[in-house]
Amino acid sequence: MAEGDKALRASRGFVDAIPHNAALGFQVLEFKKAEVVFLLPYDAKLVGNPDTGVLHGGAITALLDACSGAAVFSALPALMPIATLDLRIDYNRGGDPGRDIKCRATCYKVTRNVAFTRAVAYHDDEADPIATSAGTFMLGTKQGGGR
């Protein structure tokens, strides 16, 4: 098995082992060092406006947050606990009803204590984003959520 396939297979734990990721139906499409692509399948239970069928911003928030966190894990040399410090999301446009949403997250910088991410949510074309985000993550947090 190629290294990339192994990493992708291992990365499915991000969905299977995390109840909220599983509840949202996330799929891991790509898992490379410092770069991860997730898929959020369209689901009526995640709709924000029942008139239009557009997904709620909260589902996009969860997608950007989870995918950004996974990108941090993929960038770290060893598995360690991390915690989101902040996440800023720009909603660029509503998603199209009935269409799945992808998210590509990049961990573009890792320092001793903090990792920095960017992510974009889109249907097919990253140049036509639904939402974009910038995040910071604290590294090596204690079990119990200490900083």
Which residues here bind other proteins, judged by CB under 8 A? 17-24, 44-51, 55-59, 61-66, 69, 83-91, 94, 143-145
Provide the token pair at 5. 């396939």
Query: Which residue type does 29 have?
Result: L
Q: Which is nearer to other proteins, 4 or 113 (CB)?
A: 113
How, if at all, do strands 82-91 and 131-139 pair?
antiparallel
Count CA atoms within 13 Å of residue 45 on its CB side: 5
Q: Which is nearer to other proteins, 34 or 60 (CB)?
A: 60
Report, in Å, the least distance between residue 3 CB and other proteins: 27
Rg of the chain's alpha carbons, rounded to an integer? 15
Q: Which is nearer to other proteins, 40 or 75 (CB)?
A: 40
